[in-house]
């Protein structure tokens, strides 16, 4: 990581920190805290060890209706936070900061071979992409990967070089750097 201008260096730094430490707080330079207490974010991640009886997951149609009727996030909403804490369904890899568009159009399709997902759900309005502003990475047994696989295979899969790479404009998105 000698040249910070190299494309895609943030995911590699995150992956290496995850490999070495098991958990990190990553804050983009655009993030600032207005108070020292961030326990409300930690609660969403650590609730997994405390919640034993979750309410049943709503059917997809009911979740779609809820998403259609709720306005987009704008700041911190205590009621939504309390509901999320009670359901405790948040992953332990949190991305905060809604970008205003969906994830499908900006994600290379081959990524889904490494991160299992439901493609039909990604086409829905509720499939929002969140900017990498603040991330809490905590390793957990319920994730489908182990950290060594995440660090080595995702870098190898995209053939991400740590320096001196060039853009390949022939791929689907025109944004993957390859050797």
Find the mean pLDDT for residues 145-160: 46
- Residue with the two structure tokens 């159009």: 105
User: Is residue 176 a contact partner of residue 158, using CB atoms and an 8 Å limit?
Assistant: yes
Find all residues with CB under 8 Å of 19, minimum gap 6, and list them: 147, 148, 150, 151
pLDDT in tens, 111-151: 777 666 777 777 776 666 655 544 444 443 334 445 444 44
Distance CA 143, CA 44 (A): 16
pLDDT in tens, 29-51: 666 667 777 788 778 767 777 77
- The single-letter DSSP state of residue 162 is S
pTM above 0.85, yes or no: no
Q: Alpha-carbon dihedral of residues 122, 95, 68, 71, nearest 10 degrees?
A: -160
Q: Where are the domains of the chain?
A: 9-178
**What pLDDT is stored for residue 28 in this prediction?**
59
């Amino acid at each position: 990581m000698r040249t910070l201008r190299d494309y895609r260096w943030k995911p590699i730094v995150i992956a290496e920190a995850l490999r070495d430490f098991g958990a990190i707080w990553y804050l983009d330079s655009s993030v600032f805290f207005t108070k020292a207490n961030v326990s409300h974010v930690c609660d969403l991640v650590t609730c997994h060890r405390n919640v034993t009886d979750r309410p049943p997951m709503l059917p997809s149609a009911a979740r779609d209706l809820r998403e259609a009727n709720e306005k987009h996030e704008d700041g911190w909403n205590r009621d939504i936070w309390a509901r999320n804490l009670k359901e405790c369904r948040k992953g332990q890899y949190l991305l905060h900061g809604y970008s205003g568009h969906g994830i499908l159009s900006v994600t290379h399709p081959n990524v889904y071979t490494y991160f299992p997902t439901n493609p039909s759900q990604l086409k829905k309005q509720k499939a929002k992409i969140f900017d990498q502003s603040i991330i809490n990475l905590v390793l957990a047994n319920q994730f489908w990967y182990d950290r060594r696989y995440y660090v080595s295979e995702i870098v190898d899969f995209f053939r991400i070089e740590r320096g001196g790479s060039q853009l390949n404009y022939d791929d689907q998105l025109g944004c993957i750097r390859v050797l």
